[in-house]
Amino acid sequence: MERLPHLHHVRPDWPLLAAPGEFLPDDQPVPADQWPTLNLRWWETRPVVLPFDEPNGAVTGCLLEAVGAPAPVALVSYRQEPGARRGRWVWRCEVHVITGETVAADGFNFDCPTIGRTGTTRDGARESAAAHIASQHPDAAVPYLGRRQHALRRWA
């Protein structure tokens, strides 16, 4: 079991990261009928600028968990726009996509490119993020080794 310092700083009670042996190989995709049920839940956090958001100053206030996934599958942040009276609510997909095919020179997987989508309200951004995960990533809770590595890269 391993801690993810950036994540546990924001959400101390987030489950620890399991050992590599408890994850499935990326090149052997699990058939859809064997995927765990997608159980999504929001975690409220104290407003915080995450290390990867320091350049744009986005303040994260909630994380979306797919129960069983090693790290959040989405997050919602508030970002002040330069010269604007109000900022914008932004949601970002954090799913590491596993295809089972070689899609890049270094492997079988990639980070979902759905990043920086905006909503006019916090609830609207949360609804959009949850709808994206449910429709585009129904396998988000399958414990692939690539997702463990993504969690370490993103949150440690």
pLDDT digits (tens, 9 = 90+) for 32-74: 899 999 999 999 999 999 998 999 889 999 999 999 999 999 9
Name the pairing type of β-strands 59-66 and 74-79: antiparallel
Does residue 25 lie within any of the structural domains?
A: no
Place of tokens 């090149």: 27
Name the residue with tokens 């303040």. 59
Token pair for 34:
């064997």
In a domain, residue 117? The reply is yes
Residue 110 belongs to domain spanning: 5-17+36-151
Decide if 107 is inside a domain.
Answer: yes
Q: Give strand pairing partners of 116.
A: none
Domain total for the chain? 1
pLDDT tens-digit map of 80-110: 877 767 778 889 999 988 776 555 555 556 7
Residue 30 falls within a domain, yes or no?
Answer: no
Q: How is residue 7 written in tokens?
A: 């994540």
Task: Give 13-32 pLDDT, tens digit per residue.
Answer: 999 999 999 998 887 788 88
pTM exceeds 0.85, yes or no: yes
